[in-house]
Every structure is written in C-alpha cells, then in structure tokens.
Structure 1
Amino acid sequence: MSVQHRNNVHCHGDGPATIVFVHGYGCDQQMWRFIYPSFATRYRVVLMDLVGCGGSDLSAYDRDKYSTLHGHAEDLLDVIDLYAKAPAVFVGHSVSAMIGMLATIIAPEKFRAQIMVGPSASYINDGDYVGGFNPEDIDGLLKLMEIDYDAWVKRMAPAIMGAPHPQLAKELLTRFERNDQDITRHFARVTFTADHRADVPKSTVPALILQCSDDMIAPREVGDYLHQHMANSRLEVITNIGHCPHMSSPSASADIINEYLAQLGATA
C-alpha cells in the first residue's frame, strides 16, 4: 500500500521549504482550505488525512497500531520522508498537534518548527492540571457515542466550532456524520483519554502554540501548561470563540503563523 493512498496525500506549490498541514479529530484536509493556498505561493504544501479520516484508506486502520497516537506519528514521518523538503514546518490542529509533537521527539532533525493549533496534552483535569473535562465528563461523552452516535455529533459539532459560526458547525456536523462510526469511536477514546504531559518537555523543536481566547475543548490553562513545559515555545492567543481558528478566523491565524515563521527565519 502506498503512503499516498493510505493518507490521501496531496501537494501544492513548489517552494524551497515544505509546510505540512494535518487536521484534527474527525475532520480531513479540507479544513485547511481557507489557509493553505496563501502558503502554496511560497512553500511546498503537503496535505494529508489521518488514517481512518477523510479520503484515507479506511482498510488501513489497524486498531493495534492506532491504539495510541504514536501510530499516526509514524505515518506523519513516512509522509515527510516521501513528500517534504526537510526540515519541514508542521502545522497540526488539536489532536494532530500532539501527533506532530510525538513525531518531533522521534525525529527532531526532520522539523524546522511545529505550529500547534488548539493543542492539548491531556483533556482530563488532574489535580492542579486543568484539561477542561472531569473524568466523568469524558466517560459520558464516550458512552453517548456508543449509545447514540447521531446525538453525540449533534452535541459536539457546535461545541467544537463555536457558537458564532453556525454554517461552519453544520459543515463539521456533516463531516462527522460521514465518518465510519466504529473507527470514529475508537479514535475518540484514543484522543480524549490520551495523556502526553510527560512527553511535552521532550520536544525541543521550536513551537508556536496558537490558542483561541474562548475554547471549551482546549481552555486557556492548557496553552499555558504547554508553554511553561515546552522549551523553545511561544504562546499566541487569538480572539475567537471555538476550537477551529483556522476556519473561523483564518486571516488572523495565518498572520500569526507567518509572523512566527518570519521571526524564526523559517520563511520560504
């Protein structure tokens, strides 16, 4: 099986440097459509779908391999090896920010920078750590997925996208409804129960943490935690309600990313 087919890889532009965009939970590469074209004029842009999502090869979804985020991190490194002019800039939304972080720990030489959009090292509150959800909240969400998937997506899509963005929430709802339910349930448990706090200090690749001012999925405390525990990190908070600033506030998101890359000297 080819990596291109497995991860539905598409490339745009032919700049001297590569920027790789990877979507968040339950989504696909189309979620970057408001941002990536402006980068394609200067970079080689690589878009991919996580296995189990979008146009990826669903038959490649191995529950053992993808029982942790490390399986997806291995896939990301495969894509970079084949399609990127390393070292690459990685842009990951939500769970893919953690997938990218794990990949930077495995092979830091392959990355110039990591842009973490709405990341979370753990979604579950634990002592002084604020992840946004109590354990019983996560248990309830996962049980609702098992009992009534349609009710789950109708509840989660507006919460993820944010109240002021009904059309985008409707789009996200449609994407969730099209997903393979068994895979989506499995990936939900992997995503929402993962705890990568111990891995955060291991990543030394320069990082931009881009967070929304009002995000119920990844609250401000999560961004503060990552910034405090990641060497070479910078935290930027964008005024936006929801968990998807690359869709609901794409111009502001692109501006912050461009400014960061310019200061880092990672512009194409």
Structure 2
Amino acid sequence: MIPTAEAIGDPLVRNNVRVLGNPNGRPIVFSHGFGCSQEVWRHMVPFFERDYRVVLFDHVGAGGSNLAAYDHGKYDSLDGYAQDVLEIIDALGLTQAVFVGHSVSAMVGILAANRDSSRFGALVLVGPSARYVDDAEYRGGFARADIDSLLDTLDSNYLGWSATIAPLMMGNSDRPELGRELTENFCTTDPTIARHFARVTFLSDNRRDLARVSVPTLVLQSREDVIAPAPVGRYVHEQISGSQLVMLTSSGHCPNLSDPAQLARRILDFIG
C-alpha cells in the first residue's frame, strides 16, 4: 500500500494522537511498548489529567495508527520511532515535556531526547532495556539463541506466540485477566509489522546512547520482570548520569496495567 500524503505528513493523524487533560498544564507524553497501543495507559490518565496536558499516541502499526505510513526502511531501527516522537512534539508545540516510555519506548525516548533535548523536561523509563541479548560481561536477560528462537516462533505463528508470551510478560499469575488483556493488545497489532518491530526491538543495542542523556531521568523497575530483569534496570540507571532508580513493589513487565496507582505516584513524586 502506498502511504498517503496525509499519513506521512501529519504526525497527529499518522500516530493517532489524542490530547487530554489540562490544556494549560505541563505536557506529559505516554509512549507504549512493543505489541501494545495507547490503551495500556488508560488507567494512568486519571492521575494526570487534572494538572497535566496528557498526550497519547500509537506507534505506526499499532492501535489506531495509519498502517499505510509504515515504511520498513524508516522503521528498521528505533531511530524511526524517535523521529515520530519529535514530530508529534513539534506538531503540538510542546516544551519541557515529560516523556514516559514503557519497555522499548524507553530507548525511543532516549534517542529522541538525545537528538533534541530542548523539547524534553524529563524522561521516565518504565522497564527499560538498552540491550536484550547478553554480551560479554553485560547481562541483558537473554542468550542470542533464546532471542532467535523467540523470533522464529513469532514469525511462524504470531497469534500463538502472543497468547504465550503476553502472560509471561505480564506476570501476576494470580490475576490472569491481566495476561488476557495484554494478549488482546498484541492481537490488535498488525502481524507483519509486529514481526518486523520485534526484530528491531529485541536485536537493538542502545548502550552507547545512555551516556549521552542530559535530561533528568527516572528509571522505574518492577520485580520479577522476565523481559527487563533488575540488573538491566540498574545498568540503565548507572549509565545515565544523575538518574534516579526506583524499585517498584509491583511485579511483571507492565506496571501501567498491574499497578497504575503506584506507577503514577512514583512519576508524580519525580516530576513534582
């Protein structure tokens, strides 16, 4: 499908941007992770909409984004997603924005802020990982063979893969409804795009980008996170000068769904 001029030229259309809350408040931009959409932030919005200008959007390929705008060349690295974030911020005229990035979007936010820090007032990284694959002394949580197997399974049966991996990512086995909700989120993502995005996500290496961060940064780390375990969160924190690390009492990779009240409180404590 050939992308339309509107899909490419207007980031607010392309990325299904929604702006809620206080139009005069400080902007806070929520960016979802792989396989999700802006819907994963719906429990967070009530904590911010009175005082903040809340910006939600979908990465191209997810939720209500314009699928015609997907370009394999542009999105062959996380830089393409970072460019989208900057275009959204520019289109809305945001300054001193708080960027909340979950999972892979944490690195997207870092890339965007490193490219133009003047637009950002703070970064909040929820379950971040600069590299998922182990490398020499670095421990990302996965051997390369594990990632290759994961991607092969995703290629052959995306829906089956989603039904298996989503509950593992979510954790909280005593609350199976959370795993089902995440699975449903995965199923709304275009499978072809999801397969490409998965390779970009799980094979990326953004370790060198961490030292360049100049924006005040909060790293939020959950317990028992099989995607971004505690040592990964600590590594991100240690490599970003002046960052703060907070260990959440919630478990699993998606505290925005499993414990939104705690996540919101930690963010509000940080941005004050």
Tell me the TM-score range normalised by the shorter chain: over 0.9
Q: Kindly indicate whether the alpha-carbon contact (under 8 Å) linking 1:12 and 1:40 is maintained by their aligned counterparts in 2.
A: yes
d(CA) in 2 for partners of 1:150, 1:49: 20
Q: For 2:248, which of 235, 238, 255 is the aligned residue? A: 238
**In structure 1, what is the equivalent of residue 3 of structure 2?**
none
Aligned to 1:142: 151
Paired position in structure 2 for 1:7: 15
Q: Give, in whole Å, the separation in 2 of the partners of 1:245 and 1:172.
A: 12
* Higher mean C-alpha displacement, 165-174 vs 55-64: 165-174
Letter in 2 for 1:61: Y
Partner of 1:60: 69
Structure 1 outlier segments of 4+, above 4 Å? none
Query: What amino acid maps onto 1:3 in structure 2?
Result: P
Q: Within 2, Cα distance between the matches of 1:109 and 1:164?
A: 43
Deviation at 1:84, TM superposition (A): 4.6
Q: Matched residue pairs, number?
A: 262
Q: Quick one: distance in 1 between partners of 2:188 and 2:45? A: 24
TM-score w.r.t. length of structure 2: 0.94
Measured after TM superposition, the shift of residue 150 of structure 1 is 2.4
**Aligned mates of 1:161, 1:146 — CA distance in 2:** 21
What's the CA shift for 1:117? 0.5
Separation in 1, partners of 2:159, 2:91: 38
Give the secondary-structure state (helix, strand or coil) at the position aligned to 2:181. helix
Q: For residue 152 of structure 1, what is the aligned residue in structure 2? A: 161
- Give 2:131's aligned residue: 122
Q: Offset at 1:172? A: 1.1
Give 1:241 deviation, angstroms.
1.8
Deviation at 1:151, TM superposition (A): 2.2
| Deviation readout 1:213-255 (Å, 9 max, x if unpaired) | 1101000001110111101210001012210011101111111
In the TM superposition, residue 182 of structure 1 has moved relative to its aligned partner by 0.6
| 8 Å CA contact 1:212, 1:243 repeated in 2 | yes
Q: What residue in structure 2 maps to residue 169 of structure 1?
A: 179
Please state whether the residue corresponding to 1:132 is helix, strand or coil.
Answer: coil
Report deviation, 1:15: 3.1
Report if the CA contact (8 A) 2:219-2:237 is conserved. Answer: yes
Shift of 1:147: 1.6
Cα distance in structure 2, aligned partners of 1:23 and 1:43: 18
Long gaps (5+) in structure 2: 1-5
What RMSD in Å do the two structures reach over aligned CA positions? 1.0
Matched, 1:99 2:108: yes
1:24 alignment counterpart: 33
In structure 1, the residue matched to 2:210 is 200
Paired letter, 1:109: S
TM-score calculated relative to the size of structure 1: 0.95
What do the CA deviations read for 1:183-221 (whole angstroms, capped 9, x no partner)?
A: 000000000000000111011111000010110100000
Mapped partners of 2:185, 2:223: distance in 1: 25
Q: Spell out, residue by residue over 1:102-151, the C-alpha distance to the aligned partner (whole angstroms, 9 max, x if none).
A: 00100011100000011100011112211110000000000001122222
State the identity %. 46
Q: Which residue does 2:46 correspond to in 1? A: 37
Unmatched 5+ residue regions in structure 1?
Answer: 263-268
Distance 1:97 1:114 in 2: 8
* Alpha carbons 2:110, 2:213 under 8 Å: kept: yes
Task: Tell me what 1:225 maps to.
Answer: 235
AA aligned to 1:229 is Q
Are 1:23 and 1:31, in contact at CA under 8 Å, matched by a contact in 2?
yes
The question of whether the paired residues in 1 share the 8 Å contact of 2:169 and 2:226 is answered with yes
What is the DSSP-based 3-state SS (H/G/I as helix, E as strand, rest coil) of the residue aligned with 1:122?
Answer: coil
CA contact (8 A) 2:12 2:91 kept: no
Distance 2:228 2:174 in 1: 17
AA in 2 matched with 1:100: G
Q: Is the 8 A contact 2:125 2:219 kept in 1?
A: yes
Q: Measure, in 1, the Cα distance between the counterparts of 2:234 and 2:39.
A: 29
**Number of the residue aligned with 1:265:** none
Question: Any idea what SS the aligned residue of 2:223 has?
Answer: strand
Greater Cα shift, 11-20 or 57-66: 11-20
